[in-house]
Structure 1
Amino acid sequence: MIEVIPMGGLGNRLRVIASAISLSQATHEPLIIHWRKNAELNCSYDELFNWNGAYHVQENLTLANRLLNLTKRVISLRKKVFVSNNEIYTNRNSGWSKERFDDFFFRAAQKNNLVIETDWCFYSYKSSHFPQPTQEILSEINTVTSKYRSPIYGVHIRRTDHDLSIRESPTELFIETMEREIAQNPLTQFFVATDNAVIMQDIKTKFREAVISYSNEKSRETSLGIKEALIDMFCLAATKKIYGSYWSSFSEIASEIGAVPLVIVKK
């Protein structure tokens, strides 16, 4: 049995789930995903993704069920191996390769009931391991991408609370990058995703009909904001190339979903 508790925002959780699905398939062990609604991602799993029967999802358990699960965990504690986020990062920072992580988790899953709580990709996966959005969300994605013409580039500008992205990937560099693409081909389009409404408006004013966008709700504290962020991610994935923000899992996962090049816009 493999149990995973994905942490962090949308990009982080997607890579954890993809890692878990890949590990479950490799070891033929059943998988449970414990999905938590919190300030980082305030949206339930089934509002975002389809369940394909390959795993089970538990979320927002009642207090009684939490106490029951806690009792079961205490009883079976000796039979379980818990791997924390800190342990994964410690091993990563000490130089563990992907192959070493794969070998460790493959062996651990075969020998034990394995519980993993992390925001990191702990096991190798393919784009096919990402969960698929609901039909409602896919319909919105298709509506947006039907407006694409070639060439179209994705632009992801992460702002708000992400100090590293703000410092290392300033907005001016994104604008300069877009200007270069327009200079090479005046018919270039951009799908732009950002969590800052002012920046979005400035870019629309500057590049006008060359810009396609979707999301209006920027808060991660609402279900609507998270659903619109997922639509943004898959719309980015459908472009020719993504110009992304430094240290943003959102940019990285969009690139992996679409198997398209990612260029980090950086000082």
Structure 2
Amino acid sequence: MINSAMKLAKRRKEKLVILWYLNPELNAAFEDLFQPILEPDITLINIHSLKDPRKLYYQLSAGQRFGDDDIRNNKTDDRLNDDFYRALKKRVYIFTCERFDPTKDYSLFVPTDTLQKRVDTFTRDFAPRCVGVHIRRTDNAVSMGKSTTEQFIAEMEKELTAHPETRFFLATDDQSEEELLRSRFPGKIISNQSRTIDRNSVAGMHDALLDLYCLAASDKIIGSYWSSFTDTAADMHGIEKIIAGE
């Protein structure tokens, strides 16, 4: 979403203000995860409440506001339709979780030095070939219904048949899934076994970002249906992605 906003601001030759909302779903400041943004036309503000006066100022002083429904109803292939774009006023306030102007530019998101060292530790074991596996469970019923464990196993077996040297980096929020795959593919699974699965903590966000960047460093991704985590990991470096169950 931030990438979309950055591209939109550049297209309109305007400055971008990012309100980074810390809440139980992502309770870590931007600087806890990434290097500070140095671009002069981009300002990032960490907020802890939707009633933060700075947030209310930008929202109430905007010439136009739009959100999820407006974007879904006015985009084609993840891009705002031209008529909607041309009708935008000055000082637009956007509150959304939707992509609306895709770009391959992820330059804003450079992990902290500490986090990058952790990523490097795992990716050193990726040679000669590593396939990322992202299994989304717990809070995504749509994904669980479509991308079953059996379908992930079938895709992994296909990879090993074609490339016996393959290892798998596993990112999952379900410990039982990891235990099953480790028993099914002994010596083939790489993962952060000490992960913290708690989105309401900096440690949990560090481990989630570690998984994301390790997936993005793999040669291919076997991902979960209806998961932006899968999509973003593949998109970051333009690697091949297949969705289990499709």
Map residues 13-92 of structure 1 onto 2, 5 A cutoff: 16-54=1-39, 55-60=42-47, 66-67=52-53, 70=56, 74=60, 76-77=61-62, 80-92=63-75
Paired with 1:71 and 1:186, the residues of 2 have a C-alpha distance of 58
Seen in structure 2, the aligned counterparts of structure 1 residues 105 and 173 have a Cα distance that, compared at 3 Å, is same
Paired with 1:40 and 1:176, the residues of 2 have a C-alpha distance of 32
The residue that corresponds to 2:138 in the other structure is: 160
Q: Secondary structure at the match of 2:111?
A: coil
Q: 1:257 aligns with which of 200, 213, 236?
A: 236
How large is the RMSD of aligned CA atoms in angstroms? 2.3
Seen in structure 2, the aligned counterparts of structure 1 residues 129 and 19 have a Cα distance that, compared at 3 Å, is farther
Misfit runs of 4+, over 3 Å: 67-74, 96-107, 127-130
Paired with 1:260 and 1:72, the residues of 2 have a C-alpha distance of 37
**1:58-117 Cα shifts (integer Å, max 9, x gaps):** 122589x9346636754x35xx2111122112334xxx4556436634662xx4001111
Seen in structure 2, the aligned counterparts of structure 1 residues 60 and 100 have a Cα distance that, compared at 3 Å, is closer
Q: 1:194 aligns with which of 172, 181, 184?
A: 172
Paired with 2:58 and 2:197, the residues of 1 have a C-alpha distance of 39
Deviation at 1:219, TM superposition (A): 2.0
**1:187-222 Cα shifts (integer Å, max 9, x gaps):** 111111001011112212221221111262122222
Question: Which structure features the higher share of helix residues?
Answer: 1
Structure 2 residue identity aligned to 1:163: A
Instruction: State how many pairs are aligned.
Output: 243
Seen in structure 2, the aligned counterparts of structure 1 residues 68 and 228 have a Cα distance that, compared at 3 Å, is closer
Structure 2 residue identity aligned to 1:241: K
Map residues 97-112 of structure 1 onto 2, 5 A cutoff: 100-101=80-81, 104-105=84-85, 108=88, 111-112=89-90
Equivalent pair of 1:165/1:248 in contact (CA under 8 Å)? yes
Structure 2 residue identity aligned to 1:58: I
Paired with 2:223 and 2:58, the residues of 1 have a C-alpha distance of 44
Seen in structure 2, the aligned counterparts of structure 1 residues 105 and 131 have a Cα distance that, compared at 3 Å, is farther
Deviation at 1:223, TM superposition (A): 1.6
Paired with 1:198 and 1:97, the residues of 2 have a C-alpha distance of 36
Map residues 216-235 of structure 1 onto 2, 5 A cutoff: 216-235=195-214
Seen in structure 2, the aligned counterparts of structure 1 residues 220 and 186 have a Cα distance that, compared at 3 Å, is same
Seen in structure 2, the aligned counterparts of structure 1 residues 61 and 228 have a Cα distance that, compared at 3 Å, is closer
Equivalent pair of 1:101/1:123 in contact (CA under 8 Å)? no
**1:201-254 Cα shifts (integer Å, max 9, x gaps):** 221222122111126212222221111111101110111110000000000000
Paired with 2:99 and 2:54, the residues of 1 have a C-alpha distance of 30
Q: Percent identity?
A: 32
Which consecutive residues of structure 2, in runs of 5 or more, have no partner in the other structure?
none
Deviation at 1:134, TM superposition (A): 1.6
Seen in structure 2, the aligned counterparts of structure 1 residues 88 and 180 have a Cα distance that, compared at 3 Å, is same
Which consecutive residues of structure 1, in runs of 5 or more, have no partner in the other structure?
1-15
The residue that corresponds to 1:178 in the other structure is: 156
Paired with 2:203 and 2:82, the residues of 1 have a C-alpha distance of 35
Q: Secondary structure at the match of 1:82?
A: strand
